[in-house]
Structure 1
Amino acid sequence: MQSGPLGRAIVLACALIAPPTWAETAAVDEAYFETHVRPLLIEHCYECHSQSAGESMGDLHLDTAAAMASGGVSGPVVIPGNAAESLLIKAMLYADADLQMPPEGKLADEQIERLRTWIDGGAPDPRDEDMSEAQQMASKPLDRDPSTHWAFVPPQRLSGDDFDSLPDVLPSNADAADADPIDEIARGQAAVKHLSPAPAVNRATLHRRWSDDLHGLPVSSAQIASFESDSRPDAETRRIDRMLADPRFGERFTRHWLDVARYADTIGYAVGGKDRNLKYAYRYRDWLISAFCEDMPYDEMIRHQLAGDQTAEPGSMDADAMGFLTVGRQFLRHDDTIDDRIDVVTRGLLGLTVSCARCHDHKFDPIPTIDYYSLYNVLENSVPPADLETAASPLMLVDRPKVRDFRVFVRGDRSRQGEIAPRRYLTAFRKPETAQFKSGSGRLELAEAIVDPANPLTARVMVNRIWEHLLGHPLVDSPSDFGYRTPAPPLQSVLDELAADFASDWSIKRLVRRILHTRIYHQAATPSELARVSDPENALWTHARRSRLDFESMRDGLLMGCGYLDNRIGGPAVEITQPDLVPRRTLYARIDRQNLPGLFRTFDFASPDMHSPGRYYTTVPQQPLFLLNHPQISHAAQLAVELARQDAAGDPDDAAVIESLFRQVLGREPPPAELADAVRFVSSPPADNPNAIDPRSTWQYGTAMWADDQVTQFTPLKVFKDDRWQFEETFPSPGPMSYASLSRDGGHPAHGDAGIIVRRWTSPANGKLTLNGAVTRPSDQDDGIIATVQVNGQTEWQASIASGTQRYNARRNDVQQGDVVDFIVHSGEGLSFDSFQWRGKLLLQSPTEMLQFSSTDGFSGPFAPERAVSLDRFEQLAQVLFLSNEFFFVD
């Protein structure tokens, strides 16, 4: 195959080609340091290692970036990008008896993990000891007039004066009168550089864009044919309005907003056996679908999300909107949970990094520390209802019966109390005479301040997000940071025109409709040679940006292409990482904040741990490997061929089935040359795949004895009940095996060396083996567990885990078919609270292929062992179409 999707898929199988796109590629930045690292250092380290305290034990200061880089008598304590070798982490882990910090006790695993994440992310540190006090005072952002920054001035509509200085670039015909003013601005600024806009795309491409942008689904060939044949002058408007009225628009824009709201179905890390599930999180997601479908004004959406307990009508779903605050991570320290809520409100709605002012005045923006604690007091006085069962929503918060105002925590230290922080809006964006919030916690008054027409940020931030969703790149490159360091975008007047117009009625659908009708949206994705040179970043929007499907659109397109998509709206989350396809849209997938499945991470799903400004896209081998090898793709290919054969019923010609496949997957007919290639392909005999296996057959679950550091007397567990393997029908067993059990993502050992629990994997082929995974003991009670990984009896990794998570990454060369890997858990002296979670991956590079195995995906109860059947030629063709660039890219 030299051309068409068959040939192009071969290229994709080696590496999915991603176009340049906006990204905040660093998950760790200065804001992360200010939010998660500086407070931890202040609380646990500064007392003994800071200039302010006059202490430098070990000649080590930790209160400046330079001092931390130079280190103390033992050398540098931080190696940016390498947490494993950094002395700071080694000291925090208490692994060395002579190097244990802080001395008063080991930090929680969650805190150590934050330090590890910061260091592995490059250890960004904005602290600077080289600036003199005079320089620091002169450069204080609080001394700057906020009105001197473009984003802190209310946006204005375009006027005639905005066009006077622009070149006359519009054609003098009737079409010019229909141009949107923002098109005129964009064309005029491009003309200054002698650039012209790209031509408009054809109707088929336009409809594909609409379908992905508005529904997140591929357009059918019948829909394209209908649009191409519609000669009415308002054909575009009719089609757009129809798509905006479809509930799938609500689903698509809900998924976008869930990234902003850091949605997940679990609370994150928990101790003491606490249930990690957010049982009713899906109700917030379903409220969003309804709100977007009904075109609820955005200002009203904000009021409900911050104060639904006060704005919801009896019997409505609007109290569920407060999931915006409550579906975030629930930290072990309540102050960190409040910080997360301040962050999602300020970055998500206002584009301001207010959490950076937790320990000191914001270093870059006009946000003093007292502003942070003003919002802290608003949210700290918002608590769950006393009786959730009778509350309007299990997601809501209510005002504390007796409001209390906290003082500023000096340097973020709760033990050092400063002045009382009145509950009020941000200093730089309110008039000096504005009264503090008086109604309860002040949440509703905070919402009113955010949606006030005079607020310069709210409309701009939302318009910028919607522009990014529709055109693939935001006008402002940092969608959640509009502060002083963010320069005005080249097309600021376009952003301001849309923002001022949006704030007139807050209609998201009207804003979307307007953008879809612009010439900017209609442009082709091919730049001119001059544009490549003089505007390589396409800052002037002279052409469209070619975009790749995000994870949700990719998976939903797969379901639609094989006729398996379930279009039901709403409901509880479902698990989508099983070997077989699950028909629900990806929007309804269960999101485990603590253990986000590898499938999500492989395809660049937004981290649910914190507010996400936007998606970024990577090109990694795991993406084509999933599409080539995962049972879900085989299942989709088989279903697609079944559907194509039904469509071609009565026609014995192979070409009829092939043409149906093209229509289903790519939304078009194959041209003659491509059809001929495909006919030759399906006519050739399929090659036998001797290595095809059922991944379930590689796993066993049992108990064993531990003697001389070896697993002996391995005995498979006998009973599969309640989604777990256990020793006998009664659970726990009344005998010595007690709680011995293994489930999809964890288990429990029996007691001592006679009751170890073993998850055993047997290699199906010769090759090189790589192991990685994580073991978690949620409880911090009793004496912990011992986790061990052995390959053919040789210990590759072992850890004693009192509480929290330990990760491993081990490489083993030259394993043979039949070799075993044992994942072993011992109890300590006691057996209480020894439930554990274990998720492991195994990557086997055989001489002919790369095979990936997962302890969770491969888990099952009893099944009839059978060899996995290779796909026939038609099914292989369907898989190739799903692998093609044409399927993965919108244009």
Structure 2
Amino acid sequence: MPPALLGRACLLLCALIATPTWAHPADVDEAYFETHIRPLLIEHCYDCHSQSAGESMGELRLDTAPAMKRGGAGGPVLVAGDAGASLLIKAVSYTDLDLQMPPEGKLTDEQIEHLQTWIDGGAPDPRDAAMEEHEAAPTPLDRDPSTHWAFVPPRRLNGNDFASLVQSERDAAGDRDPIDEIARLSAAAENLSPAPSVDRPTLHRRWSEDLHGLPATTEDITSLESDPRPDAETRQIDRMLADPRFSERFTRHWLDVARYADTVGYALGGKDRNIKQAYRYRDWLLAAIADDMPYDEMIRHQIAGDKTADPDSNDADAMGFLTVGRRFLRHDDTIDDRIDVITRGLLGLTVSCARCHDHKFDPIPTIDYYSLYNVLDNSVPPKDLEAAASPLLLVDREKVRNTRVFVRGNRARQGDVAPRRYLTAFRDNETEVFSDGSGRLELAEVIADPTNPLTARVMVNRVWAHLLGRPLVDSPSDFGYRTNAPALQSVLDELATDFASHWSLKRLVRRIVHTRIYRQSARASEEAAVQDPDNALWTHALRSRLDFESMRDGLLVGSGYLDNQIGGPSVEVTNSELTPRRTLYARIDRQNLPGLFRTFDFASPDMHSPGRYYTTVPQQPLFLLNHPQLSEASRLAVKQARQATPGGEDEVIIGSLFQQILAREPTPDEWKDAVGFVSQSPAENARAVDPRDAWQYGTATWENEAVTKFQPLRVFKKKRWQFEDTFPSPGPMSYASLSRDSGHPARGDTGIIVRRWTSHADGKVQISGTVARPSDKGDKIIATIQAQGTILWQQSIPTGPRSYDSIDLDVRAGDTIDFIVHSGPSLSFDGFQWQTKLNLETSAGSIAFDSSADFSGPHSPASIESLDRLEQLAQVLFLSNEFFFVD
């Protein structure tokens, strides 16, 4: 059923229909209701329209007499004494194709007659008395927001909080900050003690990972260890905060919040999917964080940069916070995404849950959602975007328009006007509506207000998670009623009130990394492991594993190949060759996010990400064992080690490799094992596979449900394979072509277009991908995956995308898998997009193939040499737990 009709139908969800002519009034009473009506309503209606089920679709409840008389968003559902005028009867009769209830199937004629008789008889309902005696259960809107810990302003710690402690006790504990004291007191109440502090080398490794996202160097560790000054650690922290690499690290954190990508996602009609100069938002973040721009100012620029940006600055680029998100085919969904990134990202509130109904758990009515919708619906790209201060800019409509509430989220059914204003639970009734154009600047001001109980708490919680491995509040983007106060709420509140007094990110980070909590060992005591297994009281540190960016950047540092350029356009980092730019600058294609990113738990760019999930899956070590980038990194590492020790023997180079990759000397046992390893002759390895060689691009004939007469396309021109030099071909092959992500068939069974993959070895292959016909004109295409004459998957696609996951197949060397597109009866508008990935498991390991990344014109076979023993040792060090874990 179309959404507009579904919304209308849901208003009644248990009844709407035309009166049967055979129904007649009869003597009915409460016994008649109890015998025939109540059981019918319970069986067919209560699941969607009752307080007990927690559902009131269409704002309609049918579990009490007053609720039935009141009706829902579509008005009253019954008229006592007149079944023919009652919407309930109209729905259950199924005479209106748009309004047929109950949805699982029509009631029997007898049941419909009972309903009509009951209504014509005055609709007696004993549930009236029950309703008078018992008030309806309260909703989240009935609760006083001030009763929830996160909705009241945080309070700073003061001397009274520590009245029981004398200075000698504080000094003995090594507490450097009031939050250390409160954490220690909380642990002591459970008879637990904090773990001891780590040594300086370990501490420096933490700083390097947390503040720069790069491995510590031997020189930095040695410098800190040998510095006798009492403020040596403070000096080192300040140097690291001043380094541009701090900005790179925390910019990446914020890009997860802002769901950054370089493309819009799926687009129709072959439109350009790139977000023009999306990287300018990333570059703005780099500059803002490096300059320690106050966080409240950052909020204003990101929401209303068109009004706050100095003409001589690049602050207008800050509006990428709103505009680098997904561009949905329906503009309403794009606005929903922007509401979500503002409210979850900055306030920790799931306001988008109120799009179709009042929030089920928090004090956010539907009208609040549409108040924000009204703000963003009046925010549009400039008419002359080329002349605008930024390609990422939004400006106010020239003539602001008012948005009404979409009843049940249905644009076709509009209710009251939703005034542009802040959330109901956090403002006075007398608060004026936003009046400055769209109201974005006024919205930004109220979010950035230091008295806002959520803004500072949410940001502090995110920073704490980045520095200590887990947030204080376990749901970083949901501080609603269902979120309990953290065990150390006073720590969060102390940091939040302090942060809101200066809004300096660097000052907040400096304070946290100076604390004893941050410096603790990751070794939990036996008591803590039993009494506080979740470490809610922070009696020890958490072991942290490198995220994808730090892992890849660590490879670049260890191989001496890192390019320290700050900012600039995005680059590809998933090709066979190692790209020297930091992973921060990787191109993010949200529709075709590379498998490498997903393998290492990269944040989805489709929506705001509150935090990353860390998995351990076989694909991770297989990448590190088999990908050409690791081979190149290992060779470069040995090359750098040889340059650092010119003329040095292998034994000397071994020490240099340990220094480069692990920032320490090998232990005697490690040195002995390494020397023995490199002294052996390397085994003869099979020639590595160039993934480009696995693919062919051609046309074929479709006969008896199989590919025949396959012919490779002969001409590579303008980054596509085509039938001949002239395009389209004047002959029957017409538009037949294949490019990196797209293509076009010729006509009919004799003009299918085929992207063919050939296995180089015996093994098991897993296939996944997406094919799409962007246009909604013309007729259709037929997409088929076939292997050795067997159809593995086939779809007729009139428009839009189709996906397939985990098609598994055993293959032998020389077997082919064909990715085939047929035109429909008409050849018009049959351009398509197709990206597919294959993972081949062989006895020698796993190899990944990607139709997009592997695409190539004519090329010479790559000559890939095996690693020598020193290079293999470098790869082993890159694979070690010590490389992947901070502590």
Contact 2:355–2:409 (8 Å) recurs in 1: yes
The superposition leaves residues 337-381 of structure 1 with CA deviations (integer Å, 9 ceiling, x where unpaired) of 111111111111111111111122212111111111111111111
How far does residue 559 in structure 1 lie from its aligned partner after superposition? Answer: 1.2
Q: Structure 1 residues 135, 197: CA separation in 2 closer, same or farther (over 3 Å shift)?
A: farther
**Residue 417 of structure 1: how far off its partner (Å):** 2.1
- 1:706 pairs with one of 702, 709, 725: 702
Q: Secondary structure at the match of 2:219?
A: helix
1:709-728 maps to which residues of 2 (within 5 A)? Answer: 709-728=705-724
Distance 1:308 1:848, change over 3 A: closer
- Indicate whether 1:489 and 2:486 are aligned: yes
Displacement after TM superposition at 1:307 (Å): 0.6
Distance 1:67 1:819, change over 3 A: farther
Answering whether residue 44 of structure 2 is matched by residue 45 of structure 1, we say: no
1:501-512 correspondence runs (5 A): 501-512=498-509
Instruction: Give the alignment partner of residue 513 of structure 2, picking from 516, 521, 528.
Output: 516
**8 A Cα contact 2:765 2:839, kept in partner:** yes
- Describe the SS at the equivalent of 1:753: coil
For 1:860, the aligned partner's letter is S
1:584: Cα distance to partner? 1.2
**Bigger mean CA offset, 746-755 vs 731-740:** 731-740
Higher relative contact order (CA 8 A, sep 6+): 1
Please name the residue that 1:161 is paired with.
160
| Offset of residue 730 of structure 1 | 3.5
Distance 1:766 1:839 in 2: 24
CA deviations 1:315-351 (Å, max 9, x no partner) are 2110110111111111111111111111111111111
Measured in 1, the distance between the counterparts of 2:604 and 2:497 equals 31
- For 2:311, what is the secondary structure of its paired residue? coil
Q: CA deviation at 1:733?
A: 3.2
Q: Report the Cα distance in structure 1 between the residues aligned to 2:250 and 2:363, rounded to whole angstroms.
A: 32
Work out which of the residue numbers 414, 437, 440 in structure 1 matches 2:437.
440
- The answer on 1:144 being equivalent to 2:143 is yes
Q: For 2:808 and 2:154, how far apart are their aligned partners in 1?
A: 60
TM-score, structure 2 as length reference: 0.85
CA contact (8 A) 2:687 2:864 kept: no
Q: Find the partner of 1:844 among 840, 845, 858.
A: 840
Residue 881 of structure 1 aligns to a residue in which SS?
Answer: helix
Task: Find the partner of 1:182 among 176, 179, 182.
Answer: 179
> Are 1:169 and 1:187, in contact at CA under 8 Å, matched by a contact in 2?
no
1:479 Cα offset (Å): 0.5
Query: Counterpart in 2 of 1:542?
Result: 539
Q: Does 1:761 align with 2:722?
A: no
Change in CA separation of 1:136 and 1:279 when aligned onto 2, cut-off 3 Å = farther
Say whether residues 1:735 and 2:725 are aligned partners.
no
Alignment of 1:652-731 (within 5 A): 653-690=649-686, 692-731=688-727
One-letter code of the match for 1:155?
A: P
CA contact (8 A) 1:459 1:503 kept: yes
Paired with 2:324 and 2:719, the residues of 1 have a C-alpha distance of 27
Q: Cα–Cα, structure 1 residues 541 and 278, in superposed 2: closer, same or farther, change >3 Å?
A: same
Q: CA deviation at 1:53?
A: 5.8
1: CA distance between counterparts of 2:751 and 2:852?
22
Q: SS where residue 674 of structure 1 aligns?
A: helix
**Which residues of 2 match residues 400-419 of structure 1 at below 5 A?**
400-419=397-416
Q: Is the 8 A contact 2:4 2:413 kept in 1?
A: no
Contact 1:47 1:55 in 2 (8 A): no
Match of 1:12 in 2: none
The 5 A counterparts of 1:809-848 are: 809=805, 811=807, 813-848=809-844
| Alignment: residue pair count | 789
- Say if 1:690 and 1:560 are closer, same or farther in 2 by CA, change over 3 A: same
Task: Please give the secondary structure, in 2, of the residue aligned with 1:774.
Answer: strand
| Cα gap change, 1:390 to 1:602, in 2 (>3 Å) | same
1:776-801 alpha-carbon deviations (Å, 9 max, x no partner): 22222211211111111222211111
Summarize the alignment of residues 763-778 of structure 1 with structure 2, pairs less than 5 Å apart: 763-778=759-774
What is the aligned partner in structure 2 of residue 603 from structure 1? 600
Note the C-alpha offset of 1:706: 2.1
Contact 2:464 2:472 in 1 (8 A): yes
- The corresponding residue for 1:313 is 310
User: What's the Cα RMSD here?
Assistant: 2.5
- Name the CA shift for 1:502/1:679 in 2 (closer, same or farther; >3 Å): same
Distance 1:582 1:489 in 2: 42
SS in 2 for 1:857: coil
Distance (whole Å) between structure 2 residues aligned to residue 320 and residue 813 of structure 1: 48
Q: How has the CA–CA distance of structure 1 residues 274 and 518 changed in structure 2, closer, same or farther, with 3 Å as cutoff?
A: same
Picking from 644, 649, 654, the partner of 1:647 is 644
Amino acid at match of 1:191: A
1:325 match: 322
Quickly say closer, same or farther: Cα 1:177–1:711, change in 2 above 3 A. Answer: closer
- Taking the aligned partners of 2:10 and 2:403, their CA distance within structure 1 comes to 28
Q: Tell whether 2:630 aligns with 1:633.
A: yes
Look up the match of 2:875.
879
SS of 1:752's equivalent in the other structure is coil
Q: Does 1:467 align with 2:428?
A: no
Alpha-carbon distance between aligned partners in 2 of 1:489 and 1:722, rounded to the nearest angstrom: 58
C-alpha distance in 1, partners of 2:629/2:704? 42
Out of 412, 424, 427, the position equivalent to 2:424 is: 427
Match of 2:239 in 1: 242
AA in 1 matched with 2:6: C
Aligned equivalent of 2:286, options 280, 286, 289? 289
Distance in 2 separating the partners of 1:47 and 1:423: 26
What is the match of residue 279 of structure 1? 276
> Given the superposition, is the C-alpha separation of residues 277 and 56 from structure 1 closer, same or farther in structure 2, using an over 3 Å criterion?
farther
- In structure 2, the gaps of 5 or more residues are 19-42, 56-95, 99-129
Rounded to whole Å, the distance in 2 between the matches of 1:837 and 1:469 is 38
Shift of 1:176: 6.5
- C-alpha distance in structure 1 between counterparts of 2:759 and 2:440, whole Å: 57
Q: Cα 1:609–1:41, aligned 2, differ >3 Å: closer, same or farther? A: farther
Does the 8 Å contact 1:273/1:833 carry over to 2? no
Aligned match of 2:297: 300
Q: Is contact 2:765-2:840 (8 Å) kept?
A: yes
Preserved contact between residue 773 and residue 800 of structure 2 (Cα < 8 Å):
yes
Matching residue of 1:807: 803
Separation of aligned partners in 2, 1:538 and 1:56: 59
1:752-804 CA-to-partner distances (Å, cap 9, x unmatched) read 22222211111111223332222122222211211111111222211111112
Distance 2:552 2:430 in 1: 53
Partner Cα separation in structure 2 for residue 253 and residue 502 of structure 1: 16
Q: Provide the rounded CA distance (Å) in 2 between the counterparts of 1:135 and 1:491.
A: 40
In the superposition, the TM-score normalised over structure 1's length comes to 0.85
Shift of the 285–707 alpha-carbon distance from structure 1 to 2, 3 Å rule, reads: same
1:736 partner letter: P
The alignment status of 1:54 with 2:15, answered yes or no, reads yes
Q: What amino acid is the match of 2:736?
A: A
Amino acid in the other structure paired with 1:157: R
Q: Secondary structure at the match of 2:565?
A: coil
Q: 1:271 to 1:309 in 2, by over 3 A?
A: same
- Which residue, out of 224, 227, 233, partners 2:224? 227
Distance 1:137 1:266, change over 3 A: farther
Q: Secondary structure at the match of 2:248?
A: helix
What fraction of aligned residue pairs are identical, expressed as a percent? 70
The residue that corresponds to 2:746 in the other structure is: 750
For residues 730 and 215 of structure 1, the distance between their equivalents in structure 2, rounded to whole angstroms, comes to 53
Structure 1 distance, partners of 2:480, 2:508, is 24
| Segment of structure 1 superposing worse, 172-181 or 814-823 | 172-181
Q: Deviations over 1:542-572 (max 9, x none)?
A: 1000011111111111111111111111111
